Structure 1
Amino acid sequence: MSTKAKETHASRFTGRGDPQATLTLLWGLPRDARPGRKPGLTPALIGAEAMALADAQGLQALTMRALGERLGVSAMSLYRYVPGKPELLDLIVELAHAELPHELPQGRWEAQLQRVAHDAWALYQRHPWMLEVSAYRASLGPHSIRKYERELGALEGAGLADLDRDMVVAALSDLVRGAARNAVDARTAGQATGESEAQWWARHAGLLQPLVDPAVFPLAVRIGAKAGAEYGGTTDPARSFAFGLARLIEGVRVYAAAVANGDESA
Structure 2
Amino acid sequence: MTDPAPPSVWTRPRPEPRRRAPGVDQFVAAALAVADAEGLAAVSMRRVAADLGSGTASLYRYITNRDELLDLMVDAAQGEDPLPTAAADWRADLGAVAHGLRAALLRHPWLAGELTGRPSLGPNSLRRAESALRAAVALTPDMTLASQAVGLVRAYVLGSVAAQLAALRAEQRTGLSKEQWQHSMGPYVREVIAAGDHPMLARRVHEADEPEPDAEFAFGLDCVLDGLAARIGGQQE
TM-score (normalizing by structure 2): 0.86
CA distance in 2, matches of 1:214, 1:223: 15
Q: Say how many residue pairs are matched.
A: 234
Larger mean CA deviation between 86-95 and 191-200 belongs to 191-200
How far apart are the structure 1 equivalents of 2:82 and 2:53? 33
Aligned match for 1:109, one of 90, 94, 112 = 90
Residue 59 (structure 2) pairs with residue 62 (structure 1): no
Cα distance per residue 1:32-66 (max 9 Å; x no partner): x69x9564322121111111221222212212222
* Identical pairs, percent: 31
Alignment of 1:1-266 (within 5 A): 20-21=6-7, 23=8, 25-27=9-11, 29-30=12-13, 39-102=20-83, 104-212=85-193, 215-227=196-208, 230-231=209-210, 236-261=212-237
Unaligned runs of 5+ in 1: 1-17, 262-266
One-letter amino acid of the structure 2 residue matched with residue 156 of structure 1: V
**Which residue of structure 2 lines up, in the alignment, with residue 8 of structure 1?**
none
Question: Could you list the per-position Cα deviations for residues 110-157 of structure 1 after superposition, in whole angstroms to 9, with x for gaps in the alignment?
Answer: 111111111111111221221232512111212112211111111232
Q: 1:107 deviation in Å?
A: 3.1
Alpha carbons of structure 1 residues 243 and 103: separation in structure 2 relative to 1, 3 Å: closer
In structure 2, the CA distance between the partners of 1:161 and 1:63, relative to structure 1 (3 Å rule), is same
RMSD between aligned residues: 2.6
Q: Is the 8 A contact 2:84 2:96 kept in 1?
A: no
**TM-score scaled to structure 1, two decimals?**
0.77
Task: Indicate the SS of the match to 1:133.
Answer: helix
Distance 2:81 2:63 in 1: 23
CA–CA separation in structure 1 for the residues paired with 2:195 and 2:130: 50
Q: Is the 8 A contact 1:214 1:221 kept in 2?
A: no
**Could you say which structure has the greater relative contact order, defined with CA pairs below 8 angstroms and 6 or more residues apart?**
1
